[in-house]
């Protein structure tokens, strides 16, 4: 079967239509994944174009307590239905397609990839996407991080500064808190940031000013993470280090 390709504008328009109408219907959805980056970093869409970073589908996240039947009914109203081959358990993930072939994933509850990202109490902090801190965590948890993930991180850092709130800011306090209780996540994330600063920045099509801005903001994140007091669980796991596997294996997913 030939894969249908959609324009980035079409995918973003559909994503915004779905999440905006959901708010009116009291169906809590927040954009997640690549589409969230393009929408929440809309002032620098020129960078996505420069990077040739394009979209293929839409990802949402909601709380686990959101009834699967309610989601099913809502997406049917929006012109989407579950595919015939749908096999995922509705406790963790639901899938929908529209007649044109546009695919939507809805993650329910904590998102578990290489490391777990908890959204409890966080989805109300931003709209129409997950908060910027979680957008960064979504990328930093990837053990085998790819060029497309690095591109998303670059645009995020160019457009948004690092601070201590969620208001159009990458909340370093939130990121540091997550890292302080999970050594494995801390290890993967800090290694990714260091690699990004030392290697990927030079490989991407960025000007001198953009490289400088990204470097400064990465340093702010790393400083906040190191200063945050670590939990006993973190300290015990740190003693073992990489002698024991510190991440989960996951199948490749579109990001």
Q: Encode pLDDT of 118-127 as tens digits.
A: 999 999 999 9
72-85: b (≥16 Cβ within 10 Å) or e: bebbeebebebeee
Q: Which segment of 18-32, 81-95, 100-114, 231-245 scores lowest on mean pLDDT?
A: 81-95
* pLDDT value at 2 more than 90: no
Structure tokens at 255: 């990001």
Q: Determine the average pLDDT of the residues in 12-39.
A: 97
pLDDT band at residue 89 using 50, 70 and 90 as cut-offs: low
| Pairing mode of beta strands 111-112, 80-81 | unpaired
| CA dihedral for 62, 67, 72, 73, sign (positive or negative) | negative
Instruction: Determine the pLDDT at residue 9.
Output: 97
As a whole-number percent, the residues of the chain with pLDDT over 90 amount to: 89
**CA of residue 39 relative to chain centroid, distance:** 12
Place of tokens 């909340």: 171
Q: Which segment of 66-75, 195-204, 228-237 scores lowest on mean pLDDT?
A: 195-204
pLDDT band at residue 253 using 50, 70 and 90 as cut-offs: very low
* pLDDT value at 87 more than 80: no
* pLDDT value at 88 more than 60: no
Structure tokens at 163: 């601070």
Instruction: Determine the pLDDT at residue 150.
Output: 95
Mean pLDDT, all residues of the chain: 93
pLDDT band at residue 252 using 50, 70 and 90 as cut-offs: very low
Structure tokens at 152: 């998303």
Instruction: Determine the pLDDT at residue 254.
Output: 44
* 81 Cβ neighbours under 8 A, 6+ residues apart: 75, 96, 97, 98
pLDDT band at residue 91 using 50, 70 and 90 as cut-offs: confident
Structure tokens at 84: 């015939």
Q: Determine the average pLDDT of the residues in 201-216.
A: 93
Instruction: State the pTM of this model.
Output: 0.94
- DSSP for 114-142, please give it: SSEE--TTTGGGSSSB--HHHHHHHHHT-
Per-domain residue ranges of the chain = 8-243
Per the CB < 8 A criterion, the answer to whether 173 and 122 are in contact is no
Q: Determine the average pLDDT of the residues in 228-254.
A: 90
Whose CA is closest to 197, among 170, 189, 159, 238? 189
């Amino acid at each position: 079967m030939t894969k249908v390709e959609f324009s980035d504008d079409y995918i973003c328009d559909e994503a915004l239509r779905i999440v905006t109408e959901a708010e009116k219907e009291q169906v809590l959805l927040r954009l997640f994944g690549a589409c969230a980056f393009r929408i929440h970093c809309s002032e620098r869409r020129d960078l996505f174009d420069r990077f040739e970073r394009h979209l293929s589908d839409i990802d949402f996240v909601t709380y686990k307590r959101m009834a699967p039947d309610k989601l099913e009914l809502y997406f049917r109203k929006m012109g989407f239905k579950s595919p015939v081959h749908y096999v995922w358990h509705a406790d963790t993930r639901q899938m929908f397609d529209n007649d044109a072939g546009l695919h939507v994933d809805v993650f329910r509850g904590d998102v578990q990839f290489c490391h777990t990202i908890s959204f409890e109490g966080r989805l109300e902090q931003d709209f129409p996407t997950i908060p910027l801190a979680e957008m960064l965590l979504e990328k930093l948890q990837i053990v085998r991080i790819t060029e497309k993930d690095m591109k998303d991180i670059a645009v995020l850092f160019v457009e948004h500064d690092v601070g201590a709130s969620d208001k159009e800011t990458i909340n370093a306090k939130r990121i540091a808190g997550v890292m302080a209780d999970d050594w494995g996540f801390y290890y993967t994330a800090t290694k990714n940031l260091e690699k990004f600063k030392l290697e990927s920045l030079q490989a991407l099509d960025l000007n001198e000013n953009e490289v400088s801005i990204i470097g400064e903001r990465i340093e702010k994140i790393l400083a906040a993470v190191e200063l945050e007091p670590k939990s006993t669980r973190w300290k015990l796991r740190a003693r073992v280090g990489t002698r024991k596997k510190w991440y989960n294996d996951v199948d490749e997913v579109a990001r």
